[in-house]
Amino acid sequence: MIRARFRLQLPEGLWITEVSTAFADATFRLLAAAPLAERTLELGEIRGEDPRAAADALATHPAVVDADLLYVDDGRALLQYETREQGLFDFLGETSLPPEFPVHVDDGEMEFTVTATRERFDAFGEQLDASGLRYDLLSLVHGDSRADVLTDRQRECLRVALRMGYFEVPRDCRLAAVADELDVDTSTASETLRRGSARVLNWFFLGSREV
């Protein structure tokens, strides 16, 4: 499986494009959505300096037929609304790849994550290319490629060392403190950290699990 995150330039004319560009300092988060017969029911969150004004602009947009302001404070608004536009769902429906929520929209650009097999991911990329929309691939992870990179003990040691600040520059703790936390001697802690770090680096740069 492949897990990828994209940034997509939304086409002009969409209500979310117009509202998000009008409030360029705000982040619009689509938390959940369900396509209905001729509408889309969505739960959205707005974060920014003036979320109430952005929420009002969303609620009064001609493409939004119904909106309920569920919560608002100085930095956040939560709304449930229905919109006539289903372009996003139509586009994703053709690829059979629904986005994973939440979906973020900032100033006319949408960031979203998809998880798919290689075949479906390649088809999705072809669909994006054919759409003519500008997009960037922000990250790409083969979901099963790192499952056995580390042993359980190496993973635990690296996680503890990272949490305690052993890898900070300068270090926030000594190796002895990490060893005490793991209840092992310093020699064992050092060897496990060295081997674990080497496996991660080899996997990242060389695609190898062998160290």
Q: Is the distance from CB of 46 to CB of 55 less than 8 angstroms?
A: yes
pLDDT the model gives residue 98: 72
Structural domain count of the chain: 2
- Please give the pLDDT value at position 62: 96
Q: Which of 121, 142, 163 is the last residue of a domain?
A: 142
Asked if residue 147 belongs to a domain, the reply is: no
Q: What pTM did the predictor assign?
A: 0.67
**Which tokens hold the place of 181?**
């936390």
- The answer on 111 and 181 residing in a single domain is no
Collapsing DSSP states into helix, strand and coil, what is residue 165?
coil
Q: What is the pLDDT of residue 144?
A: 53
112 lies in the same domain as 156: no
Same domain? 134 vs 174: no
Exposure string for 184-209, b = 16+ CB within 10 A, e = fewer: beeeebeebbebbbebbeebeeeeee
**DSSP symbol at 13:** T
Give the pLDDT of the chain (211 residues) as one tens digit per residue: 788 889 999 988 899 999 999 999 999 999 998 888 889 999 999 999 999 999 999 999 999 999 999 999 999 999 999 999 876 666 666 666 777 899 999 999 999 988 888 888 888 888 888 888 899 988 877 755 555 678 888 989 999 999 999 998 889 899 999 999 999 999 999 999 998 898 888 766 655 445 4
pLDDT at 51: 97
Q: What is the per-residue pLDDT for 201?
A: 80
Answer yes or no: is 211 within a domain: no
